[in-house]
Amino acid sequence: MDQATMLKDHEKRIAALEAIISKKKGPPLKAGKNSLSDALIELRDARFFSTPRVAGEVFAKVQTKYPCDAGRVAVALFRLAKARTLRITSKKVADKKYKVYVW
């Protein structure tokens, strides 16, 4: 067996092994508007945050489009505020200070 055929056989074996080991990749997933932060940004664009909103109010509103826990909504609001997509301010109701989100 000469060196050219030995090399060709080796490449065939390597290609066959790589085909078995490697996972076949499907089409890339679309990011779409199906995340919680996307739902919150849609609310912002719909002028929902034109008046200051407490996390509980946002949670009640977002449940129609994206059902999840109230804690997830609060964390997502905080992350959007940290990324300066929303602003955090405070509101006093009955001598109690609340963190509210506004745009």
Rounded distance between C-alpha atoms, residue 60 and residue 53, angstroms: 11
Q: pTM for the complete prediction?
A: 0.65
Region 54-59: mean pLDDT is 94
Percent over 90 (pLDDT), the chain: 54
Q: Which domains does the chain have, with CATH numbers?
A: 36-102 (1.10.10.10)
Residue 29, pLDDT score: 59
- 7-49 pLDDT, tens digit each: 678 888 888 888 878 766 666 656 556 889 999 999 999 999 9
